[in-house]
Amino acid sequence: MSGHQKRRSYLAIRDIPTNEEIYRNEVRCLPRLTLDEEQEIVNRAREGDKEAREQVITSCLTYVEFIAKRYERYLHHDDYLDLVGIGSLAVVENLERALLNDNPGGWLRSRGKYAIIHYCFTRANLIVRPDHKAQPVYTTSLDQPGYSNTLNDTKAPVMVADRPDYTYLYQALEQLPRHYQTVLISHYGLFDSQPESLYSLSRRMKENVKGSAAYLTEYRALRRLRQQLRKGGPGNLNALAR
């Protein structure tokens, strides 16, 4: 084969578009809808128009394609079209819920985006990262039977340690200023009270702050409490650490 024929063959191969290029070209040729047009299509889709429902889904594909291309670099073992399929499937599955929202198009696009991000988070490597929403799987040793007769168990009973005495801690707490006591008692749920976050305590203490007053009060109260415990001897701090 001559050099001219090799060049023509090389150019012919380069002219063949890939599946990714074909899909991107088709998606980017989709018409862009204005706000009025999108609202009209949404109203028709809510009435049960099948063509309008397909148009709602199609209007989200351009955004899904953009997000898939953006997050493609985070995956080393999956293809760009895999992310497109994940985002598009999320759009189709959430169509019914989207029509109940005030902005179905924006809500659907967000579902597709977060589906792609979640896929990248859990499948960035070959070992799938567990989902925080999944139920934990508890495993035991294969040598241990699943159902054992505990009546014949001759092991010594487990001795539960006595509950430590925190009298000295409450005595030191009573020596703190009143506002220090309030923050520590409310935040840590002392005296059988319901624990409360520092942010809600801050908003309750001062209405004109952005929820940071109780954080500084807690820091100062704990520092003062440690000083009170040191006065009673180092044994109090060691017992508290246990």
Model-level pTM greater than 0.75? no
Please tell me whether residue 30 adopts helix, strand or coil conformation: coil
Please determine, for residue 82, whether its predicted confidence score (pLDDT) is greater than 70: yes
Q: Token pair of 238, please?
A: 């060691």
Instruction: Give residue 239's pLDDT.
Output: 47
Residues of the chain with CATH 1.10.10: 167-241
Please determine, for residue 146, whether its predicted confidence score (pLDDT) is greater than 60: no
Structure-model confidence comparison of residues 212 and 178, the more confident one: 178
Structure-model confidence comparison of residues 11 and 107, the more confident one: 107
Q: Which of 102-111, 199-208, 219-228 has the lowest mean pLDDT?
A: 199-208
Instruction: Give residue 24's pLDDT.
Output: 84
Q: Which of 177-186, 191-200, 215-224 has the lowest mean pLDDT?
A: 191-200
Distance, CA of 72 to CA of 63 (rounded, Å): 14
Mean pLDDT of 21-44: 87
Q: Which of 56-60, 126-130, 139-143 has the lowest mean pLDDT?
A: 139-143
Please determine, for residue 165, whether its predicted confidence score (pLDDT) is greater than 80: no
Q: Token pair of 13, please?
A: 């191969």
pLDDT-derived band at 158 (thresholds 50, 70, 90) equals low
Instruction: Give residue 94's pLDDT.
Output: 92
Please determine, for residue 120, whether its predicted confidence score (pLDDT) is greater than 70: yes
Residues of the chain with CATH 1.10.1740.10: 13-122
Q: DSSP secondary-structure letter at 199?
A: H
Regarding the domain delimited by 167-241, which CATH topology (the fold level of the hierarchy) does it fall under?
Answer: Arc Repressor Mutant, subunit A (1.10.10)
Please determine, for residue 161, whether its predicted confidence score (pLDDT) is greater than 90: no
Please determine, for residue 113, whether its predicted confidence score (pLDDT) is greater than 80: yes
Q: What is the CA radius of gyration of the chain?
A: 32
Instruction: Give residue 241's pLDDT.
Output: 45
What would be the CATH architecture of the domain defined by 13-122?
Answer: Orthogonal Bundle (1.10)
Contact 222, 215 (CB under 8 A): no
